[in-house]
């Protein structure tokens, strides 16, 4: 298969390294997403990232990891073909519904109720995908709502493996310049070069909080601002609370602040939800749970149960209701 086998429909997103287009396989009608990789502007940037993504995804086959079917080149641009997902947790580009296609979104659309069942459903999918990646020695390193996609049947898929890496060889040094800042853990902000799966667990904590409040937890404007936002919620770390934090390459001393109790910041969350959130947002990476541990957390056993995949796809209103301009009930209006 190659370029001529696909009919392009519309551009649905843009990532760091290229534009993503919804397309159809001409022979079968199956929908796919094609990521066309931009020509590298700098030193090998796009090439390396693409190669990494292609190689890693060829190895990782899992219900909660985006499936990549092929890579082809056309007019000297490289394209990667993925299973099509109807939306990501951050924004929407739905092909699910009748015209005019309503823009569906999960996090930013405050009119779509996001109850605990659905939060559990999204998190379970993401943790399962992540546990699989970590079991296969792959760190994602760029988890954020825009990289958690949902396919038409409501399965969460980890996507965008452009920054992912194999880990595991002891002593191996990594770059700290990974993970979009708002979701970046404090050890990377302090310049850690030796790190592991815990970096992804911090990002999951930020995503969990964002699913509950519908707003980014730590929207830092710079690396320093990022750290001060983190510490103003979690408290300033010391060498007692986080052994050897002061030895990290870019460590700087921050004004001492005490942690804010999580129930103050998240008054609607259950104690179990806050225990999991608190564990994920441990400043010391050693204290964060693994993805497997998070999956076994009491939060997921308690009522209400996680929503089924079918319930995870937000449904649009029927066209008649739209034409009459009826308003949906706003769950936040009290």
Q: Which residue has the tokens 């309503």?
A: 102
20 scored as a contact of ligand AMP (CB under 6 A): yes
The residue among 267, 291, 268 whose CA lies nearest residue 279 is: 291
145 scored as a contact of ligand AMP (CB under 6 A): no
60 scored as a contact of ligand AMP (CB under 6 A): no
66 scored as a contact of ligand AMP (CB under 6 A): yes
82 scored as a contact of ligand AMP (CB under 6 A): yes
* Cα-based distances in Å from 1 to 6, 26, 318: 9, 11, 38
Report the sign of the C-alpha dihedral through residues 289, 203, 197, 171, in that order.
Answer: negative
> Cβ-closest residue to ligand AMP?
15
The H-assigned helical ranges of 105-175 are 116-135
210 scored as a contact of ligand AMP (CB under 6 A): no
Query: What's the closest the beta carbon of residue 66 comes to ligand AMP, in angstroms?
Result: 5
- Angle, to 10 degrees, between the axis of helix 198-213 and the axis of helix 271-280? 140
Consult the annotation and say whether 36 binds a ligand: yes
Which is nearer to ligand AMP, 88 or 200 (by Cβ)?
A: 88
Which is nearer to ligand AMP, 12 or 212 (by Cβ)?
A: 12
289 scored as a contact of ligand AMP (CB under 6 A): no
Please give the span between the terminal C-alpha atoms of the chain, in angstroms, as a whole number.
54
The residue among 229, 152, 215 whose CA lies nearest residue 184 is: 229
Among 49, 50, 56, 84, binds ligand AMP (CB under 6 A): 84
33 scored as a contact of ligand AMP (CB under 6 A): yes
Specify whether the backbone of 269 is left (phi greater than 0), alpha (psi in -120 to 50) or beta: beta
127 scored as a contact of ligand AMP (CB under 6 A): no
Q: Which residue has the tokens 């605990």?
A: 116
Query: What's the closest the beta carbon of residue 334 comes to ligand AMP, in angstroms?
Result: 32
Which is nearer to ligand AMP, 66 or 209 (by Cβ)?
A: 66
149 scored as a contact of ligand AMP (CB under 6 A): yes
Query: What's the closest the beta carbon of residue 199 comes to ligand AMP, in angstroms?
Result: 18
Beta carbons within 10 angstroms of residue 222's beta carbon: 9
Strand positions, DSSP E, the chain: 6-14, 18-25, 31-37, 68-74, 77-83, 87-88, 138-139, 148-150, 156-158, 165-166
185 scored as a contact of ligand AMP (CB under 6 A): no
The residue among 154, 190, 3 whose CA lies nearest residue 78 is: 3
133 scored as a contact of ligand AMP (CB under 6 A): no
Residues labelled catalytic: 142
Which is nearer to ligand AMP, 180 or 228 (by Cβ)?
A: 180
Q: Which residues pair with 117 in a beta bridge?
A: none
Query: What's the closest the beta carbon of residue 89 comes to ligand AMP, in angstroms?
Result: 9
Query: What's the closest the beta carbon of residue 187 comes to ligand AMP, in angstroms?
Result: 24
Binding residues for ATP: 36
- Interface positions with ligand AMP (CB under 6 A): 12-15, 20, 33, 35, 66, 82-85, 88, 146-147, 149, 159-160
Binding residues: 36
């Amino acid at each position: 298969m190659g370029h001529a086998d696909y009919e392009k429909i519309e551009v649905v997103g843009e990532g760091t390294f290229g534009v993503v287009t919804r397309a159809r396989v001409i022979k079968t009608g199956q929908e796919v997403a094609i990521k066309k990789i931009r020509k590298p502007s700098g030193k090998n940037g796009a090439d390396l990232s693409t190669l990494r993504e292609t190689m890693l995804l060829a190895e990782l086959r899992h219900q909660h990891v985006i499936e990549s079917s092929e890579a082809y080149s056309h007019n000297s641009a490289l394209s990667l073909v993925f299973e099509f997902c109807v939306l990501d947790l951050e924004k929407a580009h739905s092909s699910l519904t009748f015209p005019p296609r309503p823009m569906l979104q999960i996090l930013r659309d405050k009119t779509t109720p996001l109850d605990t069942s659905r939060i559990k459903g999204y998190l379970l999918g993401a943790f399962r995908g992540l546990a699989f990646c970590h079991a296969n020695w792959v760190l994602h390193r760029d988890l954020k709502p825009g990289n958690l996609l949902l396919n038409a049947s409501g399965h969460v898929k980890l996507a965008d493996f452009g920054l992912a890496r194999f880990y595991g060889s002891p002593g191996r040094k990594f770059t700290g310049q990974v993970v979009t800042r708002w979701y970046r853990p404090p050890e990377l902000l302090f310049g850690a070069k030796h790190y592991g799966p815990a970096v992804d667990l911090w990002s999951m904590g930020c995503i969990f909080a964002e699913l509950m409040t519908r707003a980014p937890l730590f929207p830092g404007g710079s690396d320093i601002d990022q750290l001060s936002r983190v510490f103003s919620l979690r408290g300033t770390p010391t060498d007692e609370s986080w052994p050897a934090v002061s030895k990290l390459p870019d460590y700087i001393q921050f004004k001492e602040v005490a942690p804010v109790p999580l129930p103050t910041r998240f008054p609607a969350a259950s104690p179990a939800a806050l225990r999991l959130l608190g564990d994920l947002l441990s400043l010391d990476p050693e204290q964060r749970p693994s993805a497997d541990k998070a999956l076994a957390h009491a939060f997921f056993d308690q009522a209400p149960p996680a929503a089924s995949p079918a319930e995870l796809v937000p449904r649009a209103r029927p066209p008649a209701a739209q034409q009459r301009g009826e308003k949906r009930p706003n769950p936040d209006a009290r």
